[in-house]
Chain A
Amino acid sequence: MNRRSVLLGVALALFALPSFAAVCPRNIPIGNCAPKSGTATNFTGDTGPMRTRKSIFALNATEIKELRLAFAKLRALPDTDPRRWLAQANVHCWNCSGDSSTKPDVHGDWAFMPWHRVYLYTLEKILGELVGNPKFALPYWDWNTPDDPSCTTGNHRSIPPPYFPQTTGGTTTNSLWDCYRDQPQTSKMPNSQVGKSAIDFIINNYDTFDLFFGKANQSAALWPGPHGYVHVWTADHNVDFDNPKQDMGVLESAARDPLFWAHHANFDRLWDVWIAKYGVPSYPQAFLDQNWTFWNQQNPSKLIRMSADDAANRATRLKYQYAKPSCKPEATFVLQDLPVLDVIDLTVHPNTVVTTAATAKPVFKIREKSGTKVVLHLEDVTVPSDQGAVLRVYLNHPNATAATSPEDPRMIRELIIVPSRTPGSAHAEGHRSHSMNFVVVIPNELAREVEAANGEVPITIVPVTGRGEEGILEATPKKSGVRMKKPFISVE
């Protein structure tokens, strides 16, 4: 192969890469958002499995990777496909009077909640189809969840980390990025505008159907407040309502930003929060009869007609639910494909395993001044439900035992798992706890060893239990039953 053919190969490879300029040029005009015409068939209800929407801050590395893949595939669909990214964004434009549409605007009245619910549903199904996962679920950006001092990373009122940076791994475009945003990752929305109290006020005071969902000629409670602030703030650090900025800052272009979907999933979740407080309302028939058309997930896509009745029956008609918000961000930024991790059963004796590096080696560098951290991930940890566990985690210390002092500088974490059921109680036998994910930030002095080993470093997990009347944790337990995925390391 000569030099010219190498250069040609490089050029072709670059051309084949998803170019950011191709998906987010500086000025996509607003307008021409009318969808293709067609005859819609009535939506007959989702027949797939139940999907669970989680807080964006609770997604694990695999879920973030799948989310990015889904949006990458959405952006890569051909222009002729009505499921593609811009066509889906234009569905929002068309329903907010964009392009001089004659359709009623779905924002200023009781269409706001159900229309956005079924809109999110259709995109979620398209994304799930594109990644071949019928359980794929959109995340929600719970900017109203208070930051907890025990949380080590992330701010709920900042743009969630998976939506940064523009590229991942050097050349790969982050499909969740939008070049029209005007906020660095460090920016944080004011608590007074979008914090817990702002949403609690609405949930606690808008206690009737009319007040919360609105009327045919009256706005829903969630339309005029924090919703708009998040939109405009995302697109403009000056939060200037007089001079709007696309994408998120203007209704017609807002859904072009992948963040739109996570933002609106949070509002959709608040519908459930309201019902949890007041019960299912008696929806007026005129409310339920509202209906709109969308493109479904099939290829070729078909127009379907969905109604507010579908939206009101979320669990049975749309087949998804919401997981509660997590205060502890567990997001990781995997820069290379993570292999399928083996599940390991811990013995009662010290268990030493070598971690997998989840970060591409060329960038596996610790930059202390920039705040980069090396993080150990212990995922899908379960124990028999009638059993607890105390696990001491050591780095590069294969000789650690139950007698090793917890003051040892190589012990990086002690995990204490409390039993969830009484031994011998009904339903205890054979059940395991919910799986738990733990992240352990490795101290800088030990992180250097991880760096030197390219992320493949021995981790020793020592089960311990109490000894003697004082209950000092230095004995070997008689049974283990702890199961987890093989640990992996990332740099964040």
Chain B
Amino acid sequence: MRVITVFLALAMPMAACAATSTRVELSGAPVTVEAERVKADAKGRLVLHLDDVRLSKGAGANVRIYLNAPKATAETGTEHPGFVQSLILVPSSTTRTPQGQNFAFPLPPSARAADPIVITFVPLGRKSVTMKRPYVTVTE
């Protein structure tokens, strides 16, 4: 399993995040990253953001997302308590350069106590999916 751990200051403003973020690439093996917290002191529900998600031309995506489950693999089911959501995107055969897409996934209440917030991506395909480094905000 490939593990990418990115340590950045907590409560970093979103603009700064965008300016300094490291892209995450998924291409077959599970990848674990620490999600950056934005406005971590606010009360409310935590929401995981995946920004500028880009697919390989002509391919779709089927990526399972887990919270605090760094050992998750393709065999780990969606019944796992750390399962957040599947990122399933229909392929497009467009010849145009694919645009990045942004996604927001509510996290379970247990995420609030997690420090750091560790996100594991388990791609079920081999073609590359890339995105900006994930971050977490709080809904109001």
> Which residues of A are interface residues toward B (Cβ below 8 A)?
30, 96-101, 105, 107-109, 192-193, 198, 201, 205-208, 210-211, 214-215, 217-219, 223-229, 231-232, 239-244, 249-252, 254
Residues of B within 8 A of A240 (CB): 125
Whether a CB of chain A sits under 8 angstroms from the CB of B115 is: no
C-beta contact mask, B109-127 vs A, less than 8 Å → 1, else 0?
0000000000000001111
Q: A105-B99, A219-B101, A219-B103 are in contact. Are A242 and B90 (CB under 8 A)?
A: no
Query: Are A250 and B90 neighbours in the complex by a CB distance under 8 Å?
Result: yes
Whether a CB of chain A sits under 8 angstroms from the CB of B61 is: yes
Query: Are A97 and B92 neighbours in the complex by a CB distance under 8 Å?
Result: yes
Query: Are B94 and A96 neighbours in the complex by a CB distance under 8 Å?
Result: yes
Query: Are A97 and B60 neighbours in the complex by a CB distance under 8 Å?
Result: no
Query: Are B101 and A229 neighbours in the complex by a CB distance under 8 Å?
Result: no
How close is A238's CB to chain B, nearest CB, in angstroms?
11
Query: Are A250 and B92 neighbours in the complex by a CB distance under 8 Å?
Result: yes
Query: Are A249 and B90 neighbours in the complex by a CB distance under 8 Å?
Result: yes
Query: Are A241 and B124 neighbours in the complex by a CB distance under 8 Å?
Result: yes
Q: A100-B96, A192-B78, A241-B59 are in contact. Are A210 and B125 (CB under 8 A)?
A: no
In this complex, how many residues of chain B approach chain A with their Cβ under 8 Å: the count is: 34
Residues of A within 8 A of B124 (CB): 241
Q: Which of B85, B94, B125, B127 has the most CB of A within 10 A?
A: B94
Query: Are B77 and A232 neighbours in the complex by a CB distance under 8 Å?
Result: no
Query: Are A218 and B90 neighbours in the complex by a CB distance under 8 Å?
Result: no
| B102 touches which of A193, A217, A225 (Cβ 8 Å) | A217
Query: Are A241 and B91 neighbours in the complex by a CB distance under 8 Å?
Result: yes
How close is B17's CB to chain A, nearest CB, in angstroms?
15
Residues of B within 8 A of A192 (CB): 77-79
Query: Are A225 and B88 neighbours in the complex by a CB distance under 8 Å?
Result: yes
Residues of B within 8 A of A107 (CB): 90, 101
Q: A192-B78, A229-B62 are in contact. Are A205 and B106 (CB under 8 A)?
A: yes
Closest to A102 in B: B96
Whether a CB of chain A sits under 8 angstroms from the CB of B87 is: yes
Whether a CB of chain A sits under 8 angstroms from the CB of B13 is: no
Query: Are A108 and B90 neighbours in the complex by a CB distance under 8 Å?
Result: no
C-beta contact mask, B70-99 vs A, less than 8 Å → 1, else 0?
000000011100000111111111111011
Whether a CB of chain A sits under 8 angstroms from the CB of B6 is: no
How close is A34's CB to chain B, nearest CB, in angstroms?
13
Closest to A228 in B: B88
Residues of B within 8 A of A252 (CB): 92-94
Closest to A96 in B: B92
How close is A434's CB to chain B, nearest CB, in angstroms?
38
Complex alpha-carbon distance, A232 and B90, angstroms:
7
Query: Are B91 and A232 neighbours in the complex by a CB distance under 8 Å?
Result: yes
Complex alpha-carbon distance, A227 and B91, angstroms:
12
Q: A211-B47, A228-B60, A229-B62 are in contact. Are A97 and B94 (CB under 8 A)?
A: yes
How close is B89's CB to chain A, nearest CB, in angstroms?
5
Residues of B within 8 A of A96 (CB): 92, 94
Query: Are B102 and A244 neighbours in the complex by a CB distance under 8 Å?
Result: no
Query: Are B59 and A244 neighbours in the complex by a CB distance under 8 Å?
Result: yes
Query: Are A224 and B88 neighbours in the complex by a CB distance under 8 Å?
Result: yes
Residues of A within 8 A of B92 (CB): 96-98, 250-252
Whether a CB of chain A sits under 8 angstroms from the CB of B8 is: no
- Interface residue ranges of B5-44 to A (CB < 8 Å): none
